Copies of this chain bind each other. A is one copy, B any other.
Amino acid sequence: MIDVCLLGCGGSMPMPERNLSATLINYKGRKILIDCGEGTQVSMKMVAWGVKSIDIICITHTHGDHIIGLPGLLSTIGNSGRTEPLTIIGPEGITRVVNGLRVVAEYLPYEVNIIEAPSKVELNVSKDGIHVAENNEHRKIHSSEIILNAIDVDHSSPCKGYSFYFKRERKFNVEKAMANNIPKNLWSKLQRQEEVTFEGKTYTGDMVLGDERRGVKISLITDSRPMDSMVEFIAESDLFICEGTYGKDEDIDKAIKNKHMIFRESATLAKEGRVKELILTHFSPIMGEPAQFIDNAKEIFDNSVIGEDRMVRTLTYMD
């Protein structure tokens, strides 16, 4: 089970009734945060999922409304007693901006690692947290638990869209293990997909595990114009969180000028990407009530939903 919370659904500037867009993913009690505008930690406090367990922070781009909350959150995480390293992932330029903002959060009781402009990051999960899979670790354990993919999108500054694929464990197949004559003392290691050499012979997880099972895919695109390449990137997502800065079709010129989308465009991506649900977010401050424009999305993709601050979705494996 994976919980996803929209901490805020606003773009541009924080508003009394609408936090800036940020998303918190909870997986086995550990957290991945996507974007951190001013006030994100306040919304997080209201949700009360905790801050100490935030292991990964993905920043889409370095515009203030997506990153100004970072130094305050890093300080608050420090005050929570965290000592384990934390990883920040972002587009080209993220290192310079994080280091600039850290002028007010210079001394933290934990290490901050930055991965700049990756296209793919494999993540493993343990009781201690979600960790970036090291190369050598990756060689031994063939299957990382979470695959993060990043795509370059079309905004006025370098900007990344993200997708997260949470793999589902393959079932242990006793018949297969027996048929392959696998020594019983290796079963648990092979179930964890470790490669084991025993009495001169090499064994892999494939020898004891059943078929691959579909995991859960979450994808997030903000801020950007629509792009053809997004269709494949978001394909078959269980949840697609996408910017819909403007609801009205007539705002298409503004959307083109400011490198954003109108609802109809976000819904077209959702339809072409065959996602299960689209949640719209990152509403312009000039749009008081986004719900009045929902039909512009629903006409294209029926399962379109207007995001609301602290809306939660719980995603489960399907079969």
Name A's B-contacting residues (CB within 8 A).
12-16, 38-39, 41-42, 45-46, 62-65, 67-69, 71-72, 75-76, 79, 96-97, 100-105
Contacts and interface: CB of A to CB of B under 8 A. Distances in A.
A76 B13 contact: yes
A41 B38 contact: yes
12 contacts: A12-B79, A16-B45, A38-B41, A64-B71, A64-B72, A64-B75, A64-B105, A68-B104, A100-B100, A100-B101, A100-B104, A101-B104
A64 B104 contact: yes
Given A96-B103, A101-B104, A15 B45 contact: yes
A41 to B, nearest CB: 7
Contacts of A69: 38, 68
Q: Within the oligomer, what is the number of copies of this chain? A: 2
Given A13-B72, A64-B72, A104-B64, A42 B41 contact: no
A103 B101 contact: yes
Contacts of A97: 103-104
A62 B107 CA distance: 13
B72 A14 contact: yes
A39 B40 CA distance: 10
Given A13-B72, A101-B103, 11 more contacts: A13-B75, A13-B76, A15-B42, A15-B45, A38-B42, A64-B105, A67-B104, A68-B69, A96-B103, A100-B102, A101-B104
Given A64-B105, A72-B64, A13 B100 contact: no
> Which 3 residue pairs of A and B lie closest in terms of their CB atoms, listed nearest first?
A100-B103, A64-B104, A38-B72
Given A101-B104, A104-B97, A39 B64 contact: no
B15 A104 contact: no
A165 to B, nearest CB: 31
B68 A71 contact: yes
Contacts of A39: 14, 38-39, 42
Contact of A68 (B16, B46, B72, B100): B72
A16 B41 CA distance: 9
Nearest to A75: B64
A130 B100 CA distance: 30
B104 A62 contact: yes
B14 A41 contact: yes
Contacts of A104: 62-64, 67-68, 97, 100-101
